[in-house]
Amino acid sequence: MTATESIHIKWDSSLYDNKHDFVFKYGEDLINLLQPKKDEHVLDLGCGTGYLSGVIAESGAVVSGIDSSADMILKAKETYPGINFSVQSATEFVSANSFDAIFSNAVLHWIKEKEQVIDCMFRNLKENGRLVLEMGGKRNVEGIIIALKETLLKYGFNKQAATEQWYFPSLSEYTGLLEQRGFRVTYAAHFNRETALNNTEHGIKDWIKMFGTTYLQDIGTVTLENVLTEVENKLRVTHFRDNKWFADYKRLRVVAVKNV
Ligand code: BEZ
């Protein structure tokens, strides 16, 4: 799930697999939209440790996976030796053959160079090839971000600009961009999906530590713990129930076809 051109986060593949596996577990549902077929060539863009590439390959499709994180790709190769994984950038990847389909789950919101990614996906698809994607949509994780920023400000850290680390477009903005750049959009939805986090006691803290690193730079360890505890207390009313923490995800799902 990682392909970071704009920001460079060092992903810990074990932490990702053990504590944040909900990212790719929810992605399994997206494979229903892809409907991979035997012998089709499918690219999993931002494949992370390869879990969804493995599920797609069960259909008999010939799967390739790319990710910008060498650590993730190493783990993917170890786990799925039959799949062709490589470290490549989402804005510049090249493949010897074009793909019947490109699949991308929870990755594109990490890449600020949105036009370049779209153009690159378009170039690497066959005529009538399809793009099936899910990413964070407008107002994704807004509750967490607001609580975190407010608390940081109280401690003297103004991190207003840090949200810019992600690209969470509205449905019309993203489908418009795809259309401008040559795709025909056949399906699009922007919906709430509250996402249960793995750690029942400190799920929100774990989430912020894993994904919110640009907010947490330059903050001492003691302050960090205090900030995270305050955020946790603030969010308990809205983001904790049935003994579980939830992230307020808003997903954008799109299917588009390359018709030239
Ligand atoms: C997401 O999948 O929506 C997401 C994950 C981590 C950080 C921000 C958004």
Using one digit for the tens of pLDDT, what is the confidence trace for 38-65?
Answer: 999 999 999 999 999 999 999 999 999 9
- CA-nearest of 61, 49, 6 to 25 is 49
- pLDDT reported for residue 105: 96
Phi, psi torsion values for 247, nearest 5 degrees: -100, 140
- CA-nearest of 162, 163, 168 to 106 is 168
Distances (CA, A) of 187 to 55, 94, 236, 252: 22, 26, 35, 11
Under DSSP, is residue 157 helix (H, G, I), strand (E, B) or coil? coil
Residue 4 pLDDT grade (very low, low, confident, very high; cuts 50, 70, 90)? very low
- pLDDT reported for residue 7: 46
pTM above 0.75, yes or no: yes
What is the pLDDT averaged over residues 84-108?
A: 95
Residue 164 has pLDDT above 80, yes or no: no
Residue 153 has pLDDT above 50, yes or no: yes
What is the pLDDT averaged over residues 210-234?
A: 92
- pLDDT reported for residue 199: 78
Q: Do 186 and 255 meet the contact criterion of CB atoms below 8 Å apart?
A: yes
161: which 2 tokens?
């600009």
- pLDDT reported for residue 28: 87
Q: Confirm or reject: Cβ of 140 under 6 Å from ligand 1.
A: yes
DSSP state of 150: H
Terminal Cα distance for the chain, rounded: 29
Better-scored residue on pLDDT, 235 or 13: 235
- pLDDT reported for residue 56: 97
Q: Do 85 and 61 meet the contact criterion of CB atoms below 8 Å apart?
A: no
Percent of the chain with pLDDT over 70: 91
Note the Cα 157 to chain centre separation in Å: 27
Q: Confirm or reject: Cβ of 1 under 6 Å from ligand 1.
A: no
Distances (CA, A) of 222 to 124, 214, 227: 48, 17, 9
In the block, residue with structure tokens 């019947």: 100
250: which 2 tokens?
């808003």
- Give the distance (Å) from ligand 1 centre to CA of residue 136: 6
Query: Which residues pair with residue 52 across a beta bridge?
Result: none
Q: Confirm or reject: Cβ of 167 under 6 Å from ligand 1.
A: no
- Give the distance (Å) from ligand 1 centre to CA of residue 74: 22
Give the position, in ligand 1's atom list, of the atom nearest the Cα of 23. Answer: 2
Q: Do 168 and 140 meet the contact criterion of CB atoms below 8 Å apart?
A: yes
Pick the residue whose CA is nearest to atom 7 on ligand 1: 211
* 3-state helix vs strand vs coil in the chain, percent to 5: 40, 25, 35
Q: Confirm or reject: Cβ of 166 under 6 Å from ligand 1.
A: yes
Residue 126 has pLDDT above 90, yes or no: yes
